[in-house]
């Protein structure tokens, strides 16, 4: 049973709840911000960018061409950009057309809108404004129609396997080994060709499991995957992983071949999510295994913006970093189509499936599949962690508590609840006031709406 560390969590000047992986996972990340005069924590403080371990910073330096100070500043800038983009998304409403960061230190946030009248409001928040033709909602709807057409074509859609909304080009992008297949798919969907960009792809993505031996965990004593984030469901401990790694009822053993647990739920294709309940010989620690086996904490699950740095750890290739390319991507594997995954520039190889993605100190998701390798480079997709937690009613294992949601402080009440997964636009009440969520996350004690303006906006 691994040694269990504890770390106090508080708001503002203190630390926030941390979540993590079990084995062969990822690492937390780092940089700090300065509190404003009213003592409300900055986004960097809320998301604990100062919790980045040296191993994650070294991986960012290696894979993103940064020095240590640039890596630290990048994490802090990305935290602040996510909060600013969330507030602008709420303010722009139907005009909003996406947001992304760029630059070695993610120092520039661009926010797109369909209405030129919004430019002043965007620039007032320190962001670059871009006026475009299509709103994010319209592009999402077009992509959904293309996905439905792909589902009707079944295995034939593997020639146009990857589909996503690219906010930077204001298009729905279809990656295809045969561009004619992509054009036929768009025609079948009845989508305006002017909103679609076809991109030639050299390879087809595939799930990243294999039947080779190695570290991590084994399914039915044969296939190998990487453990994702430790979770709890009530008093039951376990871990999140990829759905293609095993079906409900499949048994798992640890890297030491000791009996470990059983898949309690698994979805693949459609999505790529699963969770395993472990037996009493195993303990879900609030850490991930970093370089050299060091314990690394994760402090939350706030979704990183497009362009943000993201790092992955798996049982085959260890630590690698890259950037978030697109959210809400659809991929057609030989086994079928999955939707709602995030596309990244991080490399991965067979056996890394199920392993963890992290941005700063925020858990992002579990490895699904991809193309290429870590010698020549590649593209990977991860199943976001928040929908997985929500689907199975799970809570990320965090430092500072024993896994279960806490009751609100006496007299506060309201509809906000620790353990709940909130998406941008959700509203709650707390302490007699109403708040709107501006960044998707799972709520923790200490992250009550008045305490974390990076995540909630009073309305």
Residue 244 falls in the annotated catalytic set: yes
The SS3 assignment for 320 reads strand
pTM here is: 0.82
Question: Of the listed 138, 272, 352, 401, which one is catalytic?
Answer: 272
**DSSP designation for 407:** P
Residues near 103 by beta carbon (within 8 Å), at least 6 away in sequence: none
* Dihedral over Cα of 446, 452, 457, 459: its sign: positive
Q: How many CA atoms lie within 13 A of 30 on its CB side?
A: 19
Distance CA 49, CA 29 (A): 6
Distance CA 261, CA 275 (A): 10
Show the tokens assigned to 109: 């946030």
Question: Of the listed 266, 289, 309, 353, which one is catalytic?
Answer: 353
Show the tokens assigned to 74: 């990048």
Residues near 172 by beta carbon (within 8 Å), at least 6 away in sequence: 139, 142, 143, 146, 163, 164, 165, 166, 191, 195, 196, 197
Question: Of the listed 50, 63, 226, 244, which one is catalytic?
Answer: 244
CB 28 within 8 A of CB 53: yes
The segments of the chain whose pLDDT lies below 70 read 1-38, 154-156, 208-215, 289-296, 399-412
CB 28 within 8 A of CB 40: no
pLDDT computed for residue 34 by the predictor: 38
pLDDT tens track for 153-206: 766 678 888 999 999 999 999 999 989 989 999 999 999 999 999 999 877 887
Name the residue among 97, 191, 98 with its Cα closest to residue 142: 191
Number of H helices, E strands in the chain: 7, 30
Phi, psi of 216 (to 5 degrees): 95, -130
Residue 180 falls in the annotated catalytic set: no
Say which residue the tokens 């120092």 belong to.
107
Query: HEC profile for 123-140?
Result: HHCCCEEEECCCCHHHHH
pLDDT computed for residue 272 by the predictor: 98
Would you give the distance in Å from CA 123 to the centre of its chain?
Answer: 27
Phi, psi of 185 (to 5 degrees): -65, -45
Residue 353 falls in the annotated catalytic set: yes
pLDDT computed for residue 9 by the predictor: 33
Name the residue among 27, 26, 23 with its Cα closest to residue 276: 23
The SS3 assignment for 196 reads strand
CB 191 within 8 A of CB 205: no
Distance CA 187, CA 20 (A): 44
Residues near 233 by beta carbon (within 8 Å), at least 6 away in sequence: 275, 277, 392, 393, 394, 395
pLDDT computed for residue 117 by the predictor: 98
């Amino acid at each position: 049973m691994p040694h269990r560390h504890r770390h106090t969590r508080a708001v503002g000047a203190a630390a926030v709840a941390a979540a993590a992986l079990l084995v062969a996972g990822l690492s937390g990340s780092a940089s700090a911000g300065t509190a404003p005069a009213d003592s409300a924590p900055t986004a960097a403080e809320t998301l604990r960018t100062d919790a980045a371990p040296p191993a994650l910073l070294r991986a960012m330096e290696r894979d993103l061409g940064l020095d240590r100070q640039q890596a630290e500043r990048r994490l802090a800038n990305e935290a602040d950009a996510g909060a600013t983009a969330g507030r602008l998304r709420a303010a722009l409403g139907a005009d909003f057309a996406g947001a992304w960061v760029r630059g070695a230190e993610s120092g520039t946030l661009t926010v797109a809108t369909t209405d030129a009248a919004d430019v002043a409001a965007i620039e007032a928040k320190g962001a670059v404004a871009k006026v475009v033709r299509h709103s994010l909602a319209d592009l999402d709807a077009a992509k959904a129609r293309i996905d439905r057409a792909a589902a009707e074509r079944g295995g034939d859609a593997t020639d146009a396997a990857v589909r996503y909304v690219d906010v930077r080009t204001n298009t729905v992008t279809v990656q295809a080994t045969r561009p004619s297949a992509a054009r036929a798919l768009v025609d079948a969907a009845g989508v305006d060709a002017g909103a679609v960009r076809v991109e030639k792809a050299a390879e087809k993505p595939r799930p990243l499991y294999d039947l080779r031996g190695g570290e991590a965990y084994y399914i039915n004593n044969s296939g190998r995957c990487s453990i994702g984030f430790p979770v709890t469901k009530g008093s039951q401990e376990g871990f999140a992983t990829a759905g293609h790694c095993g079906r409900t009822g499949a048994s798992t053993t640890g890297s030491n071949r000791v009996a470990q647990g059983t898949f309690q739920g698994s979805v693949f294709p459609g999505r790529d999510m699963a969770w395993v309940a472990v037996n009493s010989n195993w303990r879900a620690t609030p850490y991930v295994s970093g370089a050299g086996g060091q314990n690394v904490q994760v402090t939350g699950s706030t979704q990183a913006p497009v362009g943000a740095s993201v790092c992955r750890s798996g049982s085959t290739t260890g630590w690698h970093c890259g950037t978030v390319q697109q959210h809400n991507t659809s991929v057609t594997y030989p086994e079928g189509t999955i939707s709602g995954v995030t596309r990244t520039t991080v490399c991965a190889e067979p056996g890394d499936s199920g392993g963890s993605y992290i941005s700063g100190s925020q858990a992002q998701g579990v490895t699904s599949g991809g193309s290429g390798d870590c010698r020549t480079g590649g593209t990977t997709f991860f199943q976001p962690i928040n929908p997985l937690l929500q689907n199975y009613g799970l809570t990320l294992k965090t430092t500072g508590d024993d896994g279960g949601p806490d009751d609100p402080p006496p007299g506060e009440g309201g509809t906000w609840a620790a353990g709940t997964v909130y998406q941008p636009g959700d509203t709650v009440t707390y302490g007699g006031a109403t708040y709107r969520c501006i960044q998707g996350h799972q709520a923790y004690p200490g992250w009550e709406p008045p305490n974390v303006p990076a995540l909630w906006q009073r309305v």
